């Protein structure tokens, strides 16, 4: 839909909505059981005014599915808006026992005020604060620059950082600074759940990609904006640039990036000596908490930035009824580690070890099964061997990869 010009001016638009739409909206909410929603003029700023509960529950499910919510997790929600995620996290009964500690921050004072008076009273572990940083669309009179803003929290104090639909409103210098802060604030093993508009080439950005439904014709160095007059309304980044920035601050992207209306990028801090594993060919999207694949050969790369040593590889997979026996061959850098036959159906475990001879070395692991697919035209994914999406014993609870690699000394 083409908005009239004034709708691109966020604050003018909020004024208009407040004057003309908030009252009728409040009356409708009263009779439709949505009294707990923020006013229309606030909701309209967070991706559509009508799906407050639905979007909140979607995000709560998503964080749950990714196993990002743990007992007592400390959350920081950068750009929390009018609390559509916070409200769901604060009120969903299944999350009660986790006793989440949540802090929401935003540059939009009205949104923060609403959250303070409507969400904190419902859940005392949820707090919100206003940062008066200047954003030309959301807070043009802000007194602080985003690039100079230091989040008032200790280093390593956050288990989960959310930045949904926020980096899509930051210009490059601001994004760079915030990624530095994310790196400073993440606790060991912590994860940042962030969304972007990503593109591969400036032409692609200008033409717009179907999944984003928005064009970014105004080119800048390695990023692009939708409108020159309101640059912070929508900002897209070259994916390689985001990856470079993340790496600069010691953040690793948990692969694969997930493309959608906005592109999900999960970041974690890489500590010295930590092992990392990245999925290569053959893997498929996560579904129902399982990695699924339809290929017979797939690969992963493992590396450890700082030190050499022997690594243990533990790999879980499920063989469906009727597919056994399955032969598995595993290679590390082209050298066979194992050729084994797994005779039963159900969950199977392969364990092996390999040596990383020097620090910073990368090892390419390949797995090949001689059977994976059914031939009967059903959904092939259901017939494929599945690699279980859960960590092995002793692995960190939030391991997001279907293979688990651990140190076994010397
Ligand atoms: C599209 S809304 C998304 C809100 C929320 N994250 C959600 O998904 O419901 C973008 C939010 O980012 C906030 N924002 C813009 N610049 C910011 C900055 N520099 N720091 C923190 N928040 C910012 C805006 O005020 C706005 O609330």
35 by DSSP, 3-state: which?
coil
List, in sequence order, every residue forming a beta bridge with 74; answer none if it has no partner: 101
Least confident of 161-165, 246-250, 288-292, 380-384: 380-384
Q: What mean pLDDT is predicted for residues 91-120?
A: 96
Residue with tokens 């979607």: 58
Length reported for the chain: 410
Ligand 1 atom 27: residue of nearest CA: 81
Q: Which atom of ligand 1 is nearest to the CA of 174?
A: 19
Residue 307 reports pLDDT greater than 80: no
Q: Which residue has the higher pLDDT, 294 or 207?
A: 207
Is the model's pLDDT at 389 over the cut of 70? Answer: no
Q: Residue with the nearest Cα to atom 1 of ligand 1?
A: 46
**Sign of torsion over alpha carbons 341, 344, 345, 350:** negative
Question: For residue 27, is pLDDT > 80?
Answer: yes
d(CA 21, CA 28): 11
Q: How far apart are CA 221 and CA 319, in angstroms?
A: 49
Tell how far the Cα of 324 is from the centroid of ligand 1, in angstroms: 51
| CA atoms of 231 and 227, how far apart (whole Å) | 5
Give mean pLDDT, residues 153-161: 95
Residue having the nearest C-alpha atom to atom 13 of ligand 1: 79
pLDDT for the residue numbered 377: 40
Question: In terms of pLDDT, which residue wins out, 116 or 255?
Answer: 116
Which ligand 1 atom minimizes the distance to the CA of 111? 27
> What distance in angstroms lies between residue 8's CA and the mean position of ligand 1's atoms?
16
On the question of pLDDT at 243 being above 80, the answer is yes
Pocket residues: Cβ below 6 A from ligand 1: 45-47, 78-81, 84-85, 106-108, 111, 133, 135, 138, 146, 164-166, 169-170
pLDDT in the model for residue 52: 92
Distance between CA atoms of 114 and 200, rounded to whole angstroms?
38
Say which range, 22-36, 58-72, 350-364, 381-395, has the weakest mean pLDDT. Answer: 381-395
Protein residue with least CA distance to atom 10, ligand 1 = 166
Distance between Cα 106 and ligand 1 center (Å):
6
Which residues share a beta bridge with 65?
none
179 Cα–ligand 1 center, Å: 15
Q: Give yes or no for residue 391 having a pLDDT over 60.
A: no
Provide the pLDDT confidence category of residue 193 given band limits of 50, 70 and 90.
very high
- Structure tokens belonging to residue 409: 């000394």
The predicted model gives 268-279 an average pLDDT of 66
CA of 166 to the centre of ligand 1 (A): 5
* pLDDT in the model for residue 364: 81
Q: Give the whole-angstrom CA distance, residue 269 versus residue 252.
A: 6
DSSP 258: B
CA 280 / ligand 1 centre spacing (Å): 33
HEC profile of 142-185? CCECHHHCCCCCCCCCEEEEEECCCHHHCCHHHHHHHHHHHHHH
pLDDT at 208 over 60: yes
Confidence tier at 290 by pLDDT (50, 70, 90): low
pLDDT range class, residue 374, cuts 50, 70, 90: very low
Atom of ligand 1 nearest to the CA of 133: 19
Residue 66: band (very low, low, confident or very high) from pLDDT cuts 50, 70, 90? confident
pLDDT at 295 over 90: no
Q: How far apart are CA 288 and CA 193, in angstroms?
A: 19
- Which atom of ligand 1 sits closest to the CA of residue 81? 27
pLDDT score at 257: 80
**What was the pLDDT predicted at 1?**
47
The ligand 1 atom at the shortest distance from the C-alpha of residue 166 is 12
Q: How far is the CA of 323 from the centre of ligand 1 (A)?
A: 49
Confidence of residue 355 (pLDDT cuts 50, 70, 90): confident
Q: What is the pLDDT of residue 38?
A: 95
Q: What is the pLDDT of residue 251?
A: 87
Residue to mutate, 83, 138, 160, 195, ligand 1, most ligand atoms under 8 Å from C-beta: 138
Q: 286 CB contacts (<8 Å, ≥6 apart)?
A: 65, 389
Contacts of 84 (CB under 8 A, 6+ apart): 43, 46, 52, 55, 56, 59
Among 76-85, 304-313, 321-330, the range of highest mean pLDDT: 76-85
Give whole-number Cα distances, 238 to 199, 216, 222, 243, 261, in Å: 5, 11, 6, 9, 16
In tens, the pLDDT along 73-89 reads 999 999 999 999 999 99
Give the Cα separation of 386 and 89 in Å (integer): 31
Higher pLDDT, 162 or 190: 162
List of domains in the chain = 40-269 (3.40.50.150), 276-407 (2.60.120)
Radius of gyration of the chain, Cα coordinates, nearest whole angstrom: 23
CA 279 to ligand 1 center in whole angstroms: 31
Chain position carrying tokens 């908030």? 22
* Ligand 1 centre distance from Cα of residue 32 (Å): 28
Residue 4: pLDDT above 80?
no
What is the CA(51)–ligand 1 centre distance, in A?
A: 17
Please tell me the pTM assigned to this model. 0.74
Rounded Cα distance between 12 and 19, Å, is 11
Confidence of residue 398 (pLDDT cuts 50, 70, 90): very low
As given in the structure block, the two tokens for residue 18 are 């407040």
Pairing of strands 235-238, 198-199: parallel
Cα–Cα distance between 279 and 365 in angstroms, integer? 10
State the Cα–Cα distance between residues 317 and 60, nearest whole angstrom.
Answer: 27
CA distances for 333 relative to 235, 301, 360, angstroms: 40, 10, 15
- Ligand 1 closest atom vs CA 163: 6
Contact (CB, 8 A) for 217 and 188? no
CA-to-CA distance for 66 and 109, rounded, in angstroms? 31
Most confident of the following: 115-129, 251-265, 349-363: 115-129
Average pLDDT across the chain, whole number? 83
């Amino acid at each position: 839909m083409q908005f009239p010009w004034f709708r691109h001016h966020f604050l003018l638009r909020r004024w208009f909505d407040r004057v003309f739409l908030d009252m009728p909206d409040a009356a409708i909410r009263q009779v439709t059981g949505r009294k707990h929603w923020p006013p229309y003029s606030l909701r309209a700023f967070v991706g559509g005014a009508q799906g407050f509960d639905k979007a909140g529950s979607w995000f709560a499910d998503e964080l749950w599915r990714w196993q990002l919510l743990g007992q007592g997790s400390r959350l920081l929600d950068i750009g929390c808006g009018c609390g559509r995620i916070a409200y769901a996290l604060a009120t969903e009964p299944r999350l009660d026992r986790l006793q989440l500690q949540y802090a929401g921050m935003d540059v939009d004072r009205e949104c923060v005020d609403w959250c303070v008076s409507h969400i904190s009273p419902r859940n005392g572990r949820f707090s919100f604060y206003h940062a008066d940083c200047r954003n030309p669309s959301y807070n043009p009179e802000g007194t602080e620059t985003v690039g100079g803003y230091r989040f008032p929290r200790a280093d390593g104090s956050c288990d989960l950082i959310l930045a949904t639909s926020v980096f899509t409103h930051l210009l490059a210098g601001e994004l760079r600074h915030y990624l530095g802060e994310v790196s400073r604030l993440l606790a060991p093993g912590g994860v940042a759940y962030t969304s972007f508009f990503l593109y591969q080439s400036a032409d692609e950005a200008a033409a717009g990609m179907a999944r984003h439904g928005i064009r970014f014709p105004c080119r800048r160095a390695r990023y692009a904006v939708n409108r020159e007059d309101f640059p912070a309304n929508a900002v897209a980044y070259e994916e390689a640039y985001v990856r470079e920035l993340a790496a600069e601050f010691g953040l690793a992207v948990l692969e694969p990036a997930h493309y959608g209306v906005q592109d999900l990028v999960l970041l974690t801090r890489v500590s010295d000596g930590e092992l990392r594993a990245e999925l290569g060919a053959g893997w498929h999207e996560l579904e129902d908490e399982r990695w699924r694949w339809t290929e017979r050969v797939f690969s992963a790369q493992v590396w450890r930035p700082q030190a050499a040593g022997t690594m243990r590889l533990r790999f879980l997979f499920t063989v469906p009824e009727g597919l056994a026996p399955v032969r598995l061959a595993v290679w590390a850098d082209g050298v066979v580690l194992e050729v084994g036959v797994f005779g039963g159906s159900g969950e199977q475990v392969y364990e092996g070890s390999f040596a990383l001879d020097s620090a910073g070395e990368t090892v390419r692991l390949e797995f090949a099964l001689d059977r994976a697919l059914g031939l009967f035209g059903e959904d092939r994914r259901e017939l494929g061997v599945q690699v279980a999406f859960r960590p092995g014993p002793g692995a960190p609870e939030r391991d997001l990869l279907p293979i688990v690699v651990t140190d076994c000394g010397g």
